[in-house]
Amino acid sequence: MRKRVYLFLIFFITLALSCLSTVKVEIGDAFKEIRVPKGKALIYLYRPSMWAGTLHYDIKVNGKKLIALKGNTYYPYVVNPGKYTFTAKTEVEKSVSINAQAGKKYYLLASVTPGFWVGHPYLEFVTLNENKYNDLKKCRIVRIKN
């Protein structure tokens, strides 16, 4: 019996630690539209909901850590044209890819869906309609700390 309790505690602590982000960020001002730099593409990563808002997960781009988004935050990511794969992981891993073109804006909706132990990340590129734009306007910028 004791062995089971220890195993459960080790499992639970490992799971909890895996949900901690290693990307240091600070939250800034409300949403502000920016221009797409010449020869670049702009990808807005945003998480408009406070559902499971304290749960945050690292979002990786092509395998490298980029940012962690909490509820009601966004991050403008300027990229060179090309293919990018965004990945997020808690107890499951989700990925989406896009072929970014110069001069264009893209919107990557990040959210959390219910999971067994912790929420599951959900990533989707969306077309910005009025409702989704209003959701984005409620978000605050996330800046990466050095």
Confidence of residue 29 (pLDDT cuts 50, 70, 90): low
Q: Which of 11-15, 65-69, 71-75 has the lowest mean pLDDT?
A: 11-15
Which pLDDT value is given to residue 43? 96
**Residue boundaries of the structural domains of the chain:** 21-144
Architecture of domain 21-144: Sandwich (2.60)
Comparing 61 with 133, the larger pLDDT belongs to 61
pTM of the entire predicted model = 0.75
Comparing 46 with 132, the larger pLDDT belongs to 46
Q: What is the mean pLDDT of residues 77-92?
A: 92
* Dihedral angle computed from the Cα positions of residues 67, 71, 109 and 87, in that order, rounded to the nearest 10 degrees: 40
Confidence of residue 93 (pLDDT cuts 50, 70, 90): confident
How far is the first Cα of the chain from the last one, in angstroms, to the nearest whole number? 46
